[in-house]
Amino acid sequence: MTEPLLDVENLRTYFSTEEGVVRAVDGISFELKPGERRGVVGESGSGKSVTAMSIMRLIEPPAGEIVTGTIDYRGDNLLTLDEDDMQSIRGGKIAMIFQDPMTALNPVYTIGDQLTETIVLHQKVSKKDARGIAIKALEDVQIPNAPARLDDYPHQFSGGMRQRVMIAMGLSCNPDLLIADEPTTALDVTTQAQIMDLMFKLSEERGTAVLLITHDLGVVAGFCDTIQVMYAGGIVEYGTVDDVYHNPQHPYTWGLLASMTRLDEDQQARLHSIPGAPPSVIDLPVGCRFRPRCEFAIDICGRVLPAIHPIGEGVQQVACHRAEELDLKNIDIATDDPSAGIVDDTTSDQVADSEVQEAVEVADGAADISGEVTA
Amino acid sequence: MTDTVDTAQTGQAADVSDLPDDVILRVSHLVKEFPINKGVFFKKQVGAVKAVSDISFEVKKGQTLGLVGESGCGKSTTARAILRLLEPTSGDVWFRSDTLDTVVNVATASKGQLRDVREDLQIVFQDPYASLNPRMTVSSIISEPLTVHDEGDKKSRVDEVKSLLKVVGLQPEHANRYPHEFSGGQRQRIGIARALALNPSFIVLDEPVSALDVSIQAQVLNLLDDLQAEYNLTYLFIAHDLSVVRHISDRVAVMYLGRMVEISDNEQLYDSPMHPYTHALLSAVPIPDPTIEAKRERILLEGDIPSPANPPSGCRFHTRCPIAVEGKCDVDEPQLEELEPGHWVACFYPEVKNVF
């Protein structure tokens, strides 16, 4: 077993708002190996971006706070480092690129100014040498005519080129870990293909680990080694991409994959859809957070938050009470055949409603859900 | 799917006597340019952004035409020009209106005619956060088209709103709430209810699910399917997501930099695409299956999409095309030609390619 590069243990990041406490990340644990490409997938509000911000310690009190947990990077707990030490890790060892390169770049400085600033800060070189490194960095991300483009301003670049600049900036100090938060969401699909291809090559060549945060299961399938699926602040499933895509164990993962339109499938039939919407992270349901939308929910799901646990032979993990008995892989979604195990949407809603009632009654008596968490 | 484009290309557009009964919309030689002006006091036009250049297509009643392309290809401008939300520079938009019981040229229609036509011709916008007035209740948002077109009385409008809410899968009790009280998917349902209020026959859907999470996307797509079947609606579905378009469309048209490069039936376009741009576009779309992704070869295009203010000479795609031939593609502009029945391609060197 290789030493993990990053070891996140029981991380909880909360935000206080007027409506109440937002439990954006609520007790997640995971490890990342050196050079590993991990996809962090979830819908809006699932806590995937806050996970990234927490690792970079970009959560600003009093608005938000890392309540508990440790984030070990090569043995140092990032959460207890002083600001100076954190500064040298941020950008130097762990770099981050954001969804919108236009807002992440400063419009009044040239690309060169912004690139060399990072390099001078982290590599302790002269300005002149930094310029050379910056040119090399731009060439590495395949920006044509790099020496001249160094003196251009961000608005002189197209969206795809700006994201290349961001990647160049992120990788200029040879970090061990690159956190990419929806790096291609704002880009067109042909540009996305260029950028993902580039990131893949650079990560292979340099052995840089990547934490790719995205809502797009398609991008993860081609880029990542492993995937963790997040829902309402928790990790519900983890595994290699092969295991998770071909043998999803959590009803949410299964439902997400089934509800996707696919380019290679002529789906004239109805799409499978997950009923309802993700819960508010202020007012989380008692028990399993996916239960109100889950067609397989039973009594216990409304009372006890399932802990994430290993399943099967490999590294796969799932947070579902019924994972062992459900055979999701063999439920034929395409045919919508009830005998295959699919419950009709409307009936499952009704069932779910009556269960909500029960669950609430049960929970009213005995509910400290945080006590149930064994992540 | 016979003479979709050639009538539009050869025939006089003013004559619609040949418009088959099952065609509800014929767009013919549609052009939309935005002037580029210089000077503060003495404004002078120094150029034009050629957003849509000579686009022609037809949509059959009850079908869905998917219009795909990347940002800046002119797909949304096309939609807005069809609805006359933007004044077309030239070209015709023939629409078979139920209300007027005749074929109307929307591009030249008078104000009064346009008002009547819009009872049949509606639009759903991409961003459900920006397209609903935050200070209006759901009830007033949905009943506004009814009020504007003077349909029914106050009481009947209230009933209509309630039944529309049920149709799109919301509760009648939601009528008195404000848009901010709803999630993205629910807001898009409100936008759809508003478009349905006047009982239209044709709805333009401009990226209706792009802003929604995957699990919500499927709900809205299913709703659109159901509504189409129930009310015999015709859709023009504009999207950049080719897998969504594959799911919902009967026919698919691909645009690049203001031009239509390929149009065909859904299956043909995905199974045997012929234009090199369509190849690149399809090969770039990720498939949520690691085994397939590992085996796929991507066609990576060089560079970025050129500016529509100054489009390349000849074929507009030649600057990025992997198979462009010098002296031909940069000189002559290819026109759409019917290479297979119903399959039109604008390329000098078309070839069928499997991109999965």
SS3 B37: strand
Residue A180 has pLDDT above 90, yes or no: yes
- Identify whether residues A296 and A214 lie together within a single domain: no
- Identify whether residues A212 and A299 lie together within a single domain: no
Boundary residue ending a domain (A205, A224, A243): A224
- Identify whether residues A153 and A40 lie together within a single domain: yes
CA distances from A213 to A50, A92, A187, A188, B297 (A): 10, 20, 15, 18, 24
Three-class HEC string of A45-92: CCCHHHHHHHHCCCCCCCCEEEEEEEEEECCEEHHHCCHHHHHHHECC
Give strand ranges (E) for chain B: 23-38, 44-60, 64-68, 90-97, 102-105, 121-124, 202-206, 234-239, 251-256, 259-265, 337-340, 343-345
Residue B129 has pLDDT above 90, yes or no: no
Q: What is the pLDDT of residue A352?
A: 39
Cβ distance B214 to A260 less than 8 Å, yes or no, reads yes
- Identify whether residues A210 and A142 lie together within a single domain: yes
Nearest residue in B to A158, CA atom: B304
By Cβ distance, the residue of A193, A218, A261 closest to B300 is A193
By Cβ distance, the residue of B281, B289, B356 closest to A189 is B281
Cβ distance B286 to A218 less than 8 Å, yes or no, reads yes
- Identify whether residues A98 and A214 lie together within a single domain: yes
Q: What is the pLDDT of residue A371?
A: 34
Cβ distance A161 to B215 less than 8 Å, yes or no, reads no
Compute the nearest-CA separation of B105 from chain A (Å): 33
Nearest residue in A to B354, CA atom: A264
Judge whether A32 lies within some domain.
yes
Residue A175 has pLDDT above 50, yes or no: yes
- A69-73, A331-335, B248-252: least confidently modelled range: A331-335
Give the mutation candidate from A142, A214, A261, A336 for the B interface (greatest B CB count, under 10 A).
A261
Judge whether A88 lies within some domain.
yes
- Identify whether residues A213 and A64 lie together within a single domain: yes
Task: State the total domains in chain A.
Answer: 2
CB atoms within 10 A of CB B12: 9
Nearest residue in B to A253, CA atom: B215
CA dist., res. A343 & res. A203, Å (int): 43
pTM equals 0.86
Judge whether A259 lies within some domain.
no
CA dist., res. B126 & res. B135, Å (int): 19
Residue A302 has pLDDT above 80, yes or no: yes
Q: What percent of chain A has pLDDT over 70?
A: 87
- Identify whether residues A68 and A133 lie together within a single domain: yes
**Residues of chain A contacting B300 with CB distance shorter than 8 Å:** 190, 193-194, 197
Cβ distance B282 to A263 less than 8 Å, yes or no, reads yes
Residue B46 has pLDDT above 90, yes or no: no
Three-class HEC string of A136-152: HHHHHCCCCCHHHHCCC
CA dist., res. B102 & res. B108, Å (int): 15
- Identify whether residues A219 and A286 lie together within a single domain: no
Compute the nearest-CA separation of A164 from chain B (Å): 12
**Residues of chain B contacting A39 with CB distance shorter than 8 Å:** none
Residue A360 has pLDDT above 60, yes or no: no
Q: Apex CA B122: angle with CA B120 and CA B128, to 5°?
A: 160
CA dist., res. B68 & res. B90, Å (int): 22
- Identify whether residues A153 and A297 lie together within a single domain: no
**Residues of chain A contacting B267 with CB distance shorter than 8 Å:** 266
Nearest to A149 by CA among A164, A127, A170: A164
CATH of the domain at A24: 3.40.50.300
Tens-digit pLDDT profile for residues B55-67: 999 999 999 999 9
Tens-digit pLDDT profile for residues B291-327: 999 999 899 898 788 888 899 999 999 999 999 999 9
Nearest to A77 by CA among A148, A163, A7: A7
Nearest to B144 by CA among B168, B126, B110, B118: B118
Q: Apex CA B94: angle with CA B88 and CA B98, to 5°?
A: 125
Q: What is the pLDDT of residue B248?
A: 94
SS3 B345: strand
Q: Which residues contact A36 (CB under 8 A, 6 or more apart)?
A: A5, A209, A210, A225, A226
Average model confidence (pLDDT) for chain A?
85
Residue B9 has pLDDT above 80, yes or no: no
Cβ distance A259 to B214 less than 8 Å, yes or no, reads yes
Stated as kind and residue range, the H or E segment containing B177 is: none
> What is the rounded average pLDDT of the residues B243-254?
95
Report the complex ipTM. 0.85
Judge whether A262 lies within some domain.
no
**Residues of chain B contacting A265 with CB distance shorter than 8 Å:** 246
Instruction: Label residue A340 by pLDDT band (50, 70, 90).
Output: very low
> What is the rounded average pLDDT of the residues B254-272?
95
Tens-digit pLDDT profile for residues A303-322: 999 999 999 989 999 999 99
- A318 forms bridges with which residues in the sheet? A237, A309
Compute the nearest-CA separation of B168 from chain A (Å): 14
- B118, B201 contact by CB (below 8 A): no
Count of A–B CB contacts within 8 Å? 137
Compute the nearest-CA separation of A319 from chain B (Å): 19
Q: What is the pLDDT of residue A18?
A: 87
Q: What share of chain B is helix, strand, coil (3-state, %, to 5)?
A: 30, 25, 45
Give the mutation candidate from B68, B171, B214, B250 for the A interface (greatest A CB count, under 10 A).
B214
Nearest to A160 by CA among A177, A137, A143: A143
> What is the rounded average pLDDT of the residues B105-109?
94
Instruction: Label residue B15 by pLDDT band (50, 70, 90).
Output: low
> What is the rounded average pLDDT of the residues A114-135?
92
Judge whether A322 lies within some domain.
yes
Cβ distance A274 to B218 less than 8 Å, yes or no, reads yes
By Cβ distance, the residue of A44, A190, A275 closest to B301 is A190
Decide if A266 touches B, using CB distance below 8 A.
yes
Stated as kind and residue range, the H or E segment containing A128 is: helix A127-140
CB atoms within 10 A of CB A350: 10
Judge whether A243 lies within some domain.
no
Residue A343 has pLDDT above 50, yes or no: no
Q: What percent of chain B has pLDDT over 70?
A: 96
- Identify whether residues A293 and A212 lie together within a single domain: no
CA dist., res. B83 & res. B9, Å (int): 21
Instruction: Label residue B10 by pLDDT band (50, 70, 90).
Output: very low
SS3 B28: strand
SS3 B26: strand
- A37, A212 contact by CB (below 8 A): yes
Cβ distance A271 to B291 less than 8 Å, yes or no, reads no
Instruction: Label residue B39 by pLDDT band (50, 70, 90).
Output: confident
Compute the nearest-CA separation of B42 from chain A (Å): 28
Q: Which residues contact B71 (CB under 8 A, 6 or more apart)?
A: A188, B240, B305
- Which range of residues forms the domain containing residue A113? 6-224
> Using only C-alpha atoms, what is the Rg of chain A?
22
Judge whether A244 lies within some domain.
no
> What is the rounded average pLDDT of the residues A13-28?
92
Nearest residue in B to A255, CA atom: B215
Give the mutation candidate from A102, A164, A263 for the B interface (greatest B CB count, under 10 A).
A263
CA dist., res. A221 & res. A241, Å (int): 6
Judge whether A272 lies within some domain.
no
By Cβ distance, the residue of B214, B225, B300 closest to A43 is B214
**Residues of chain B contacting A259 with CB distance shorter than 8 Å:** 214-215, 217-218
Q: What are phi and psi of A114, to 5 degrees?
A: -75, -35
Q: What is the pLDDT of residue A333?
A: 57
Q: What are phi and psi of A334, to 5 degrees?
A: -60, -40
- Identify whether residues A216 and A128 lie together within a single domain: yes
Cβ distance A261 to B305 less than 8 Å, yes or no, reads no
**Residues of chain A contacting B305 with CB distance shorter than 8 Å:** 188
CB atoms within 10 A of CB A338: 10
DSSP label at B179? G
Residue A34 has pLDDT above 60, yes or no: yes
- Identify whether residues A192 and A336 lie together within a single domain: no
- B60, B24 contact by CB (below 8 A): yes
- A8-22, A339-353, B35-49, B248-262: least confidently modelled range: A339-353
